[in-house]
Structure 1
Amino acid sequence: MKNTIQVLRALALTLLLVVFCNTAKAEKRRSEMESFKVTLVDPENGSFTVSPALPADGMVEAGTELTIKAKANSGYSLDEIYYTVKGGMWGTTSYEFFEKKTKITVDKDMTIGANFIPAPLVEDLKITRDVVFAKPGVKTLKYDVYSPKGAEDLPMIVIIHGGGWSSNNEDIMRGLAWELTKGNQYVVASVDYRWINNGDEDPNSMHELLEDVFGAIAHIQENAAKYGGNPKRIAVTGDSAGGHLSASAAIFVTKIGDGGYGNGTYEFMPTYMPKGKSADDVQQEMTAAIKAAAPSYGVFDVAPLDQFIQQKDAAYREGLSPIKAVPQASERSVPHFLVRGTEDGLIPHAAVKAYTDELKSKGQRAEYLQVEGAGHAFFDWKPDARTRATFEKYGVPYAEKMKDFFDSVFY
């Protein structure tokens, strides 16, 4: 009996020790999980402060609210305060803030920084951010406007961003917007749209993204005077997925209507409709207004895009393929300016050339330039140094060529 009691006591002590060790390990893991590594990027042409100050090892308790204040050096302006975390479609995701002071809550490992740009890029601009034009699903759709100060009745350029039709927003095109507003000859609007196959209870379809683009243009036209723009003189541009959507906007604008998209009728109903106007009114006004297109390294035939388009109907896909619907120039002139990097691994030269050749076969003006040494997405502007350097090397000079093309159309 005595031996039995001793055995039971030993078992009890062993169990207590196991529980204690497991609890200690759990507490250690919990403690480790509640702190995250915060890394600061040394800024150029400006400075920023973080409050409260970070500990020497950079480990910050989860839920801590950091206040970031940025200050530009003389001759420079603040572009953004940002933080970057791992994850997302491209491996990392950055969150950007355009005020000199912002608050960031630590909830994962992150890198925090601030970027500064030469003041002349933006000192003559009035930038209107986050103009909401529609909310067809869970995502609020908006655009930014870059207006030269004192602008009146200037032609307008609408930029449509890329990102595989399923990532990014209008902010990624601001570098191109700065370049196109040089010389104070254009008002530029950078627009957003729903992401394909996600974001809502029913997956978003490709035609709905184009309806968002048409909705944004309709809203921009309605408010053009407010921005100093002329609603009857519009060009569209965009890169990658935005290259497809901008070419589609230029080619399929005549298909705006209220008949629905599918089942034998393929018409686009803009996500935003001005009050008192019918789909036919909007179609006629927008068709007359769009004077040129500059789709960069885009897709012009969506036939092979099974990973993005669930619909197998050939007519559905043809109705979203600009190459299938280029009008005769004698019926409607839509001059095009196209670029592609020679090292672009996503968009083949043959695909862009085929669209260029189709445009020319219909009597349309089409200029196609290959950018020697450039890869994909060189018109993008993101916080990381590599993307910004790529934009400086390739985006800036070819934005100037794009602007020269628009000048030849509007001036």
Structure 2
Amino acid sequence: MTRWIAGIGVALAMAGTCELQASEFSDKIQASFDAGNPKPTKIFKLRDQVEVHYFAPTQPIESGNNPAFVYIHGGGWRGGNPKGSYRWCRYLAEHGVSVFTIRYQRANEKKGIKPIQCVKDAKTAMRWVRANAKKFGINPDKIAVAGNSAGGHLATALVTIKNYTDAGDDLSVSCRPDLLLLASPVIDNGPGGYGNGHPTTKQADYRVKGFWRDFSPIHNLNKNLPDSFVIMGDEDPLIRVVSVELFGQAVAESSSEFEWWVFPGKGHGLFSSKESYLTPELMHIFYRWHVFLAKHEYLPAPLSAGDEVQTLVEKKN
């Protein structure tokens, strides 16, 4: 049954307060994040500069058949690293999920490393996780992938981009996620989009101009998209709202669920941690992700949250 939980063409309701009051959920995640930046259980090196960082669940939800969560960091394909997601990875592991986060080669124009390589690395890492499912006691058909910004592009590329696969990959192992969670994903790389003429700096950025047609997720949609969740700011300068709508329509046409939440008045930096490691925006993103994962039986339901968690973001309907 097609489920469309988002739309376009209606005004957003004004959000409530951005201040988080005490609630069971906020107290629980705050306590986890306050415990300091953790270290992965183990780091697996797949090839040069490509790693999978693993966080073992404290107590698996389902022994031998556990759900898994893979996180891909953002940074414009040129920056970022997995450490920024370590606290969130630990939080999920504390709730019984097997968690992985990916380190991919960062694009570097001077060294001739294009964003294409980031796609190849993400596919390799995802296939590695699924191929080693038995080793980690996870269900190979229950792997959620999340990503923010350029990491959201790479997560979406796993289900849309057919080209750009490393020669060493085992193509009999699928790189398709079973669930997709995206935050401020730069999924439109067409003319004028991110990396292809978008004025992200004083000079327009044309890094993907020569190969955008088979690199841009929104231009390579198909009828095999998984249940997907998108969260973004309605004033994000890097993401065209119509692109998210087109992606949502394609998800619905795949007979999958699409859920779309927005932060009124917010731009692209929802994952920024300049002020603190757990901003109100991050608190709400993690809550929505927890709810979505619980809905699909990857996690137990989250603890109750106060009205302030419900009102910072508004669903398009």
Normalising by the residue count of structure 2, what TM-score does the alignment of the two structures yield? 0.70
The superposition leaves residues 158-201 of structure 1 with CA deviations (integer Å, 9 ceiling, x where unpaired) of: 111101110011112223324444532x212111211223473x
Alignment counterpart, residue 353 of structure 1, candidates 245, 261, 265 = 245
In structure 2, relative to structure 1, the CA distance for the partners of 1:408 and 1:308 (3 Å cut) is: farther
Letter in 1 for 2:180: A
Match of 2:89, SS state, is helix
Alignment counterpart, residue 257 of structure 2, candidates 355, 365, 371 = 365
Alignment counterpart, residue 207 of structure 2, candidates 309, 322, 326 = 309
Tell me, yes or no, if the aligned pair for 1:211 and 1:271 is still in contact at 8 Å: no
Tell me, yes or no, if the aligned pair for 2:218 and 2:243 is still in contact at 8 Å: no
Tell me, yes or no, if the aligned pair for 1:197 and 1:308 is still in contact at 8 Å: no
Distance in 2 between residues matched to 1:196 and 1:311, nearest whole Å: 15
2:311 aligns to what?
none
Q: List structure 1 runs of 4+ shifted beyond 4 angstroms.
A: 119-123
Structure 1 residues 86-165: aligned runs within 5 Å: 118=31, 127-135=40-48, 140-151=49-60, 152=63, 153-165=65-77
In structure 2, relative to structure 1, the CA distance for the partners of 1:239 and 1:158 (3 Å cut) is: same
Structure 1 residues 213-292: aligned runs within 5 Å: 213-252=122-161, 255=162, 267-270=163-166, 273=169, 278-279=170-171, 281-282=172-173, 285-287=174-176, 290-292=177-179
1:325 aligns to what?
220
- Check if 1:194 corresponds to 2:194: no
Tell me, yes or no, if the aligned pair for 2:58 and 2:94 is still in contact at 8 Å: no
Match of 1:148, SS state, is coil
1:395 aligns to what?
282
Letter in 2 for 1:133: L
In structure 2, relative to structure 1, the CA distance for the partners of 1:311 and 1:197 (3 Å cut) is: farther
Letter in 2 for 1:325: N
Distance in 2 between residues matched to 1:187 and 1:406, nearest whole Å: 13
Match of 2:122, SS state, is helix
Tell me, yes or no, if the aligned pair for 1:162 and 1:240 is still in contact at 8 Å: yes
Distance in 2 between residues matched to 1:308 and 1:176, nearest whole Å: 33
CA deviation after TM superposition for structure 1 residue 364, in Å:
3.4
CA deviation after TM superposition for structure 1 residue 212, in Å:
0.2
Distance in 2 between residues matched to 1:166 and 1:133, nearest whole Å: 20
Normalising by the residue count of structure 1, what TM-score does the alignment of the two structures yield? 0.55
Letter in 1 for 2:117: E
CA deviation after TM superposition for structure 1 residue 232, in Å:
3.0
In structure 2, relative to structure 1, the CA distance for the partners of 1:404 and 1:197 (3 Å cut) is: same
Distance in 2 between residues matched to 1:119 and 1:321, nearest whole Å: 36
Tell me, yes or no, if the aligned pair for 2:225 and 2:254 is still in contact at 8 Å: no
Q: Which has the higher contact order (CA 8 A, sep 6+)?
A: 2
Distance in 1 between residues matched to 2:35 and 2:139, nearest whole Å: 21
Match of 1:323, SS state, is helix
- Check if 1:169 corresponds to 2:56: no
Distance in 2 between residues matched to 1:199 and 1:223, nearest whole Å: 35
CA deviation after TM superposition for structure 1 residue 149, in Å:
2.1
Tell me, yes or no, if the aligned pair for 2:179 and 2:227 is still in contact at 8 Å: yes
Tell me, yes or no, if the aligned pair for 1:143 and 1:170 is still in contact at 8 Å: no
The superposition leaves residues 367-396 of structure 1 with CA deviations (integer Å, 9 ceiling, x where unpaired) of: 110023543232355xx4x042xx331112
CA deviation after TM superposition for structure 1 residue 226, in Å:
4.2
CA deviation after TM superposition for structure 1 residue 357, in Å:
3.3
Distance in 1 between residues matched to 2:90 and 2:269, nearest whole Å: 17
Q: Which runs of 5+ in 2 are unaligned?
A: 1-29, 197-204, 299-317
Distance in 1 between residues matched to 2:156 and 2:166, nearest whole Å: 16
Distance in 1 between residues matched to 2:186 and 2:51, nearest whole Å: 24
1:404 aligns to what?
291
Tell me, yes or no, if the aligned pair for 2:68 and 2:99 is still in contact at 8 Å: yes
1:212 aligns to what?
121
Computed over aligned residues only, the root mean square deviation of the Cα atoms, in angstroms, reads 2.8
In structure 2, relative to structure 1, the CA distance for the partners of 1:150 and 1:364 (3 Å cut) is: closer
- Check if 1:294 corresponds to 2:175: no
Aligned length: 254
Distance in 2 between residues matched to 1:269 and 1:238, nearest whole Å: 19
Letter in 1 for 2:207: I
Distance in 2 between residues matched to 1:393 and 1:230, nearest whole Å: 33
Tell me, yes or no, if the aligned pair for 1:340 and 1:370 is still in contact at 8 Å: yes
In structure 2, relative to structure 1, the CA distance for the partners of 1:333 and 1:358 (3 Å cut) is: closer
In structure 2, relative to structure 1, the CA distance for the partners of 1:368 and 1:161 (3 Å cut) is: same
Distance in 1 between residues matched to 2:55 and 2:160, nearest whole Å: 25
In structure 2, relative to structure 1, the CA distance for the partners of 1:232 and 1:122 (3 Å cut) is: farther
CA deviation after TM superposition for structure 1 residue 303, in Å:
1.3
Distance in 1 between residues matched to 2:67 and 2:206, nearest whole Å: 34
Match of 1:377, SS state, is coil
